[in-house]
Amino acid sequence: MKFGVQLPTGMEAMSIPTPFFRPDDFFAMARTLEWLGYDSLWGNDHYAPQEYIRGMYATTPNFFEVMTVLTAAAAVTSRIEVGTSVLVLPMRDIIPIAKQVATLDQLSGGRLLLGVGIGAYREEFAAARPDLVGANRGAMLEEGLELLGRLFSETAVTHHGRHYHVKSIDVVPKPARRPFPILVGGHQKATLDRVVRYGQGWIPGWRPLDELKEWIAILRDKAAAAGRDPASIVVAPQFSCFLGRTQEQAEARYKESGMVQHRVSLAYTGRDPVLAMANNLIGSPEHVLEKVERLHEIGVDHLSAMSLTVGSVSGFSEQVHWFAEEVMPPYRRSRAILEPADPPAAVRP
């Protein structure tokens, strides 16, 4: 089992207060996560605040650009993977993002994990791409994934599709890793077909355990039917996480967080917000470890982009230390390989 943490690139006023991370905090936390033994760090992709949070705070939320933050994080680390969870591909121009992805993978020594999806909020897509209002974002994602795969593996690529057009273009350098790891995010069963056709992994949001188990089985069956090795597809769900001294304390703190309202805003995806607390990593370390063990048993490979429901930067730091010390050890043989030997400077209070 691998473990990853979501840096708050675009979560202010949704699940955390505003203001939150300053630029220096991203550098400090990247070093801390690597030293603690996490396998990955992630950022989410939002251009601007959603309608439901506008006016909720006196201070406008900061939404940092995810690829830039990951480049900075990769520059101050040497082992930990950096990933997008997820990059909203339909909002991006395909050639610039292909260049950014390939360049970052090269500069990081092959440490980039590209998670992509259609995006949670149609209103954000409409605001950023008013010329494409009404477009089928799923179709855009699929065509974009097909084109990215070609740009990362072929030369002189020509493509004339419904949404993208390029003529005899060569993206060089190519990504360092071959095949380059693209993970497809999404909560709909159409996502599973996209994973099998275009991806090396799947990033679902939280689901009830039995439902996630069923979907993993469906994904594996689809992979086998397509001639792919089911075990080669990484299952990397994203959960909210908060540890408390007791189960009751953790649940009370979660209820006080902005994550509750954020879950309500995403209820249209089919995930009942009432079930969120029971099906995320919220509780005492012992309780959360039991959940991790059950997830491992049903075929989860990577707890990617765990989103911490905290009220301060120091609380963020406390949670990542606590999780590493109390939950991760059964899945770790040794920390002897980690560098540096001494802990990095602490993030600010």
Kindly report the CATH number assigned to the domain that includes residue 179: 3.20.20.30
Q: What is the pLDDT of residue 335?
A: 45
Q: The domain containing residue 105 runs over which residues?
A: 2-331
Low-confidence ranges of the chain (pLDDT < 50): 265, 334-340
Structure tokens at 205: 């949001």
Residue 17 falls inside a structural domain: yes
Residue 8 falls inside a structural domain: yes
- What's the rounded Cα separation, in Å, for the pair 121 and 127? 10
Q: What is the pLDDT of residue 255?
A: 82
Q: What is the pLDDT of residue 48?
A: 80
Residue 345 falls inside a structural domain: no
Residue 347 falls inside a structural domain: no
Residue 146 falls inside a structural domain: yes
Q: Looking at the chain, which runs of residues are DSSP E strands?
A: 2-7, 40-43, 81-88, 112-117, 157-160, 165-169, 182-185, 201-203, 234-235, 238-243, 281-283, 302-308
**How many domains, the chain?**
1
> Letter for the amino acid at 248?
E
Residue 339 falls inside a structural domain: no
Q: What is the pLDDT of residue 59?
A: 80
- What's the rounded Cα separation, in Å, for the pair 143 and 161? 8
Is-cis flag, bond preceding 230, omega within 30?
no
Residue 346 falls inside a structural domain: no
Residue 337 falls inside a structural domain: no
